[in-house]
Structure formats: structure tokens, C-alpha cells
Structure 1
Amino acid sequence: MHPDRPDRPACRCVICHDYGDRDEADHMDRRTVEQVQEYGWSVVMVPADDEGPAFAYTIGLWHTHGSPELAMFGLDVRTMQTLLNALGDKAAAGTAPAADQEHHGVVEGAPVVLKNVDLRWYRTFFGCAIAFYRRPPFPVLEVVWPDTGGSFLWQPESDEQYRRSQPQLWLHPAAHPEGVWTALANS
């Protein structure tokens, strides 16, 4: 059993279990653990580079609140950090995010939709979370934001450039449209 949540199985994260390598943790690992202990979660920000657009994701929501981790793609990393923290605050207040759920008031003027991430994408995008939890499965929800017209990735009227800005991680990688996201998964 989880020490703080008897309704959940034991957590195997680096906070709940001593793997004997705490002294060897790098600065990023220690910083993540400190933030999870102090705030309940941390946000990892991966800036845009030659390989692809920016993305960000949480670590610690599952440990602290029994809530799925959250990931966003394609916006400025600081913007995504702010949005993920707003959703993290909702989880901390007892409104646990769930798949296919809309959240209003996160992105100005439009809802975001949460989608379950297929486990086959974890190693491509969530390496720091895997290091923290030591292994999947821990649930991750992709936070999908709409285009300027209010359409989502799966809607035919959504803008083509917008569709390339976010992956569809709820799809099996082989079923995902070819592009930068599948290139990252195959590298």
C-alpha cells in the first residue's frame, strides 16, 4: 500500500522507496524530488529545438494526489508550465483529471481536452518521469488545446499547421500520422 494513500498500491517512486542511489542523483533529479516534496509536483520543460516543438509534463501528481501526470505540447514552455500548474492545482484541490474530460478556464476562451497517453510513447517523451517512478505504468494524460477556431486535432475542420503542433499520443505510434512526433519516437 502507498504510505499516504491506503486506497492505492505502494508507490515505487524515488521518494517512497530507497533504491540506494540517492547520493548519485543528478541535479535535475534532486530538484524534481525537492519540488515534489515541497509543492506536490514538478513540471519538466523541454524547449523547442531542431528535433521538434516544445513540450512539458508533470512529475509527482500521481505520487502526491493519485492523479494522472499531465503533458502538453506545441506552446511556449513557460505557458505550458503555467497551464499544467493550473491543472495540477485542480488535482490538488480534489478535482482529479480524467480522460476525455474538458477543462474550462485553463486556456483563455477555450476548453482543453485530456486524453490517455498510450504507454508506447512513454520512453520517447517521459524519461524523467520513468526515472522518478522507476517504471511505468503511471498514468499520463495529454492536455490538448484547440486551434484559434476552437477545433481540436481530431476534428476535420482543424487547421493543418495546428495539427502538426501537437502529437496524438492516445494513438498507437504505428497509427499516428507521420511527422515530427513519429520521427522522435523512431529515433
Structure 2
Amino acid sequence: MDERDRKALEDIEKFGCHVLNVMEGEEQPCFSYSIGIEKTLNQPELIIVGLKRELSHSIINNYRQRLAAGEVFISGAFYSDFIEGFDVTFIEMDKKHYKEYLGWGLWLYSGNNFKTYQLIWPTTAGIWPWSENKSEYYVWAQPILNSSGVLEKI
């Protein structure tokens, strides 16, 4: 176990989760995700793709705090107070994407036997992934990590 592993485990012990931020690559937008939420609260981990690191980190901490306070989030329902002025929704991430996105989660849980929600966010113009007039950039910035890669209107 190295120093990064110890830091992750300490964060989970102290804060209830550890947040990992992955920088944008040539083919892929930046993303952030939690590890430890299922271990400490028995609720799904969270991944956010395409939003700035600081915002994503704050949203993940807000999500964990709300879970710790007893709130329950349901895939396909809309929630406010994560991004000011906008609702968000959650979908269940398909396990086929875990290896590409959730390496530390696979490490922590010794495999893919854990649940992860993807936070789905609209554009500032209120465009959602199921909107017909979405831009190519938005499609790239927020890939849909369910089994089909497509999100029908919620």
C-alpha cells in the first residue's frame, strides 16, 4: 500500500468518502468520482463527467452529506440544490464502464460489486441529453454511462 492508498482510506474513515478527479484527455472529458460512500453509508457511489473539478468535488461532498442526513436519491428523479439554479438527475452507471472510469472503486471493493450513480446535468440553457438540439460538445462532455449510451427523456 502506498501513500495515495493510505490517504484514500484515511479520507473514507474521516469524511465518509474519498473523491478522485481525473483530468481531461484527448478523447475523454474530465470526471470526478467518489469511493467509500457505499462502504460507509450503503448508498451508491457518484461519478460526474464533464464539469469542472472544483464543482464536481463540491457536488460529491454535498451528495454524501445529504445521504448521511438520511436523504435517499432515486435514479430518474430530479433534484435541486446541487448546481445553483438547475435540477440534476441520476442514472445507474453500467458496470461495463467501471474499468475505464472507476479504477480506485474496483480497488477499494476488490471488484465491481458496488453501485454507482452518474449525475446528469443540463447545459446552462436547460438542454438535457435527450434534447434534440444538444450540441456535439455537450454530447462529448457528458457521455451517458448506462448500458446503451443513450438517455431517453426522464
Q: Distance in 2 between matches of 1:151 and 1:87?
A: 23
Of the candidates 62, 66, 79, which is equivalent to residue 103 of structure 1? Answer: 79
TM-score (norm 2): 0.91
Q: Which has the higher contact order (CA 8 A, sep 6+)?
A: 2
Aligned position for 1:85? 61
Aligned position for 1:151? 127
Letter in 1 for 2:49: F
* Alpha-carbon RMSD: 1.4
Letter in 1 for 2:141: S
Q: Distance in 2 between matches of 1:119 and 1:106?
A: 25
Q: Distance in 2 between matches of 1:152 and 1:29?
A: 36
Say whether 1:43 aligns with 2:19: yes
Moved beyond 6 Å, runs of 4+: none
TM-score (norm 1): 0.76
Say whether 1:170 aligns with 2:146: yes
Letter in 1 for 2:24: A
Identity within the alignment, %: 27
Summarize the alignment of residues 49-128 of structure 1 with structure 2, pairs less than 5 Å apart: 49-128=25-104
Q: How many residue pairs are counted as aligned between the two chains?
A: 150
Aligned position for 1:12? none
Does structure 2 retain, via aligned residues, the 8 Å contact 1:41–1:59? Answer: yes
Larger Rg: 1
Structure 2 gaps, min length 5: none
Does structure 2 retain, via aligned residues, the 8 Å contact 1:146–1:152? Answer: yes
